[in-house]
Amino acid sequence: MSVPTDNKPIIGFSCGDINGIGIELILKVLSDNRVLDICTPVVFANNKAINFYRKTLPEVNLNFSAIKDSSKINHRQVNLFNCWEEDVAITPGEMNDIGGKYAIISLSVAAEALKAGKIDGLVTAPIHKKNIQSSSFNYTGHTPFLKSLFGVNDVAMLMIAENMKIGLLTEHVAVKDVAQVISKDSIISKLHVINQSLKRDFCISKPKIAVLGLNPHAGDEGLIGKEEIEIIKPAIKEAKQKGILCFGPYSADAFFARGQYEKFDAVLALYHDQGLIPFKSLSLGEGVNFTAGLKAVRTSPDHGTAFDIAGKGIADETSMRQALYSCIDIINNRLEIDNNRSNPLKKRSFSVVANAIDEKITED
């Protein structure tokens, strides 16, 4: 079953660090031509970089329609938007300035296309936070960069999987600094972003959000830290007054060990590892990083550049494929929610098609 061409979303892919596994994953996902039934892919990279990794994947048979203009997108083929013309030395597995430079070139061109509405969604391949730093790019990752580009007050790094959704209050912040950057206002703001996203992006009418504590045992009533009493509980109380169904703070260890996360539509973790360790342990390898709060849709696999296996052809594309499906699902959910506000007739869901194809791939 295929979606009519004029209904397919255009999904962009930034290539990530050219010395990492990003291009390999993109090639593996897009080599299944059934992907063209559910979207029109546009890869923002370079023909020589694509061909370099295509040679390392003899089982991949994939042709591209090379373009330099978004108006020339071919809806019946995978498109390659050439972001640079010069020869670039590709050294799989090495973290160097070249990998970071061209990762940002790809990301910048793709993100501008997303902002301009030339593509409907963006799937970003992994970058390395160290080698992307420059005078023109001073961000710790995709999320703060996209927040700045789109000019929004706040966004949330929301890790999503079939069995859970975990948002982060602080993202790439040193552990020693976490307590200093947590505030009542930041918690309320992040809860608002996640609450709105659950409603519009995931079609959950009355979402319930759990908030984790900062300290062991959620502070033990002030015995092991007072952030829960002085900051987190007041934030939860005020967020409830604003109509957000949020609860906590919960002790993080018991919360996940006892499966309490299953009772909530999302969880707000206060720092990176508090949320990412249980997420990656429990999401069964199908986790996706979604930037909630943007006007456009951006997803990413939930792993990094994996320099240790780059260029060997052994990277697992499961999370990248799921990032593509999630991007399409969220685009469709937004259309459905927006259309239902003006028209009670529900529109056809791309997610049904994506899930059907996913099941077929699994069977094969």
Asked if 302 contacts 289 with a C-beta cutoff of 8 angstroms, the reply is yes
Q: Is the pLDDT of residue 22 over 50?
A: yes
Neighbours of 54 (CB within 10 A): 18
CA-wise closest residue to 328 among 44, 64, 25, 34? 34
Average pLDDT, the chain: 91
Asked if 78 contacts 28 with a C-beta cutoff of 8 angstroms, the reply is no
Query: Sorting pLDDT into bands at 50, 70 and 90, what band is 192?
Result: very high
Q: Structurally, what CATH architecture does the domain formed by 1-151+294-364 represent? A: 3-Layer(aba) Sandwich (3.40)
| Integer Cα distance of 167 and 267 in angstroms | 6
- 141 Cβ contact list (under 8 Å, min separation 6): 127, 129, 171, 172
What is the pLDDT, as a whole number, of residue 348? Answer: 47
| 269-323 pLDDT tens trace | 999 999 999 999 998 778 999 999 999 999 999 999 999 999 999 999 999 999 9
What is the pLDDT, as a whole number, of residue 222? Answer: 84
Helix (H) or strand (E) holding 291: strand 288-292
Asked if 96 contacts 58 with a C-beta cutoff of 8 angstroms, the reply is no
Which of helix, strand or coil describes residue 43?
strand
Instruction: Report percent pLDDT > 90 for the chain.
Output: 82
Neighbours of 34 (CB within 10 A): 14
pTM of the model: 0.89
- 22 Cβ contact list (under 8 Å, min separation 6): 14, 15, 16, 103, 125, 126, 305
Asked if 353 contacts 3 with a C-beta cutoff of 8 angstroms, the reply is yes
Instruction: Lay out the sheet containing 208-212: strands in order across.
Output: 64-67, 78-82, 40-45, 10-14, 121-124, 297-301, 288-292, 156-161, 164-168, 266-269, 208-212, 245-250
Query: Sorting pLDDT into bands at 50, 70 and 90, what band is 356?
Result: low
What is the pLDDT, as a whole number, of residue 359? Answer: 56
Look up tokens 């330099």; give the residue.
68
What is the pLDDT, as a whole number, of residue 343? Answer: 61
Domain boundaries, the chain: 1-151+294-364, 153-293
Give the CATH H-level superfamily of domain 153-293. Isopropylmalate Dehydrogenase (3.40.718.10)
Burial of 156 (0-12, 13-18, 19+ CB in 10 A): buried
Q: Is the pLDDT of residue 119 over 90?
A: yes
Q: Is the pLDDT of residue 364 over 60?
A: no
Q: Assess whether the region 1-151+294-364 and the region 153-293 belong to the same CATH fold.
A: yes
Candidate from 2-6, 327-331, 344-348 with smallest mean pLDDT = 2-6
Pair of tokens at residue 36: 């063209």
- 52 Cβ contact list (under 8 Å, min separation 6): 23, 90
Strand partners, 40: 10
